[in-house]
Amino acid sequence: MKNKTKILTTLLRLIKTAIKKNEIPSSCLLVDSNYQILFKAHNLNQSQKKVSAHAEIIVINKAIRNNFGFNLSNLILISSHEPCMMCLGAIKQAKIKNIIYLYDQPKFGFLNSNFNFDHSKIKVKKLKLLKSESDKFKSSFNLFFQKLRTKK
């Protein structure tokens, strides 16, 4: 990997900053294909009081806000640890195709954890609708994306 020392130093510096702020020590970068750092972040869950303020989501949002759009497929996400399931959702939404991480997260990581959705602890129910009711929701969703695709 090009710029490995700079990348590792930056990730570690961000972790140290997070620790000083009493945040979870997690950091993330978005780099281009030459491994030049474009965006960086550390977790801000505690200070922002947001469950979604993970470094991966913050760095993705920075790229989107800086006119990179919602298709970040040409960027590489580098995380200090294995991203969680929530962050994987954001990564997929941003169309990021390459993830590099430094260490496993055995409790909540999306690849190497034993995390299973325990239905006994959370009640999940799909509301039964009449077909006409269901169709209204489906058609709204489908129409939105159909219009989006025809604009391109």
Dihedral, CA of residue 79, residue 84, residue 85 and residue 91, to nearest 10: -20
What DSSP line would sit under 87-112, residue for residue?
HHHHHHHTT--EEEESS--TTTBTTT
CB 100 within 8 A of CB 77: yes
Residue 29 class from Cβ within 10 Å (0-12 exposed, 13-18 middle, 19+ buried)?
A: buried
- The answer to whether 23 and 47 are in contact (CB under 8 A) is yes
Which active-site residues does the annotation give?
56
Residue located via tokens 């977790």? 43
